[in-house]
Amino acid sequence: MIEIIPAMDLIGGKCVRLTQGDFLREKVYADDPLETAKRFEAAGLSRLHMVDLDGARSGAPANLNVLSRVASGTSLLIDYGGGIKSEADVAAVFDAGAVIVNVGSLAVRQPETFLNWIGKYGGDKILLAADTKNGKVAIDGWQTETEEEIVEYLCKLVEKGVRRAFVTDIASDGAMSGPSIDLYREIIATVPGIDLIASGGVRSLADIDELESIGCKGVIIGKALYERTIVLEGLTKYVG
């Protein structure tokens, strides 16, 4: 069964969503992330994908106080990313209550450091965050587009032992236009052994079912939950 992972994007300690990664297209959905997290928990969900957009933009985690508050106030298993640049950052995120650290930009710039962290903490504790724009890997909170093809990048890291990744197509994220099914189908067919988590564009239960049918292991859902095109009560068939 596909794992449902609600998303919580943070700017200034508030729950927001961006459209296609554009910081100028920000919408605040909740002033209190803990209350939002409690609603996810009450619906039977066990995971939370927390993105520190301030950290992604500045290069250092900036919402650890929110992480700590949500981790101590719920039983959700939180994966946290945004601005992770050093082992001290990794330790700080774990200390604040996350069970998984998401690493994106550093995995591109310093792949050996990223692989060393997987070796030290375990592949279940360090999760590859691979963002793509126009088929190329994007970093720095989606603000920098590299020349590396996303599929080739994933192949390279899987060959070195990476087994899990979530992939966000920036063109789909927050656009409510449907997930990038063709991209995910290509990744699953081309990158053997990867446990793929889809992220971006999910707007309905039908989208979730299609992602499950092509082999995605998980799906991150953001705007659809906040805009209520997917209601939490509708997710019960995926829980438990």
Provide the annotated active-site residues.
Answer: 9, 131
Measure CA of the first residue to CA of the last residue in the chain; give whole Å.
Answer: 9
CB distance 167 to 187 below 8 Å: yes
- At 67 the three-state DSSP class reads helix
Distance (Å, whole) CA 113 – CA 106? 8
d(CA 36, CA 40): 7
Compute the chain's Rg from CA coordinates. Answer: 16
How far, in Å, are 35, 225, 240 from residue 231 at the CA level?
16, 6, 17
Tokens 């659809």 belong to residue: 224
Token readout for 15 is: 């729950």
- The CA distances from residue 16 to 7, 36, 74, in Å, are 10, 11, 20
Q: Which residues contact residue 145 at a Cβ distance below 8 angstroms, ignoring those fewer than 6 apart?
A: 133, 134, 136, 137, 138
Tokens of 5: 């992972």
Cα(9)–Cα(18) distance, rounded to whole angstroms?
A: 8
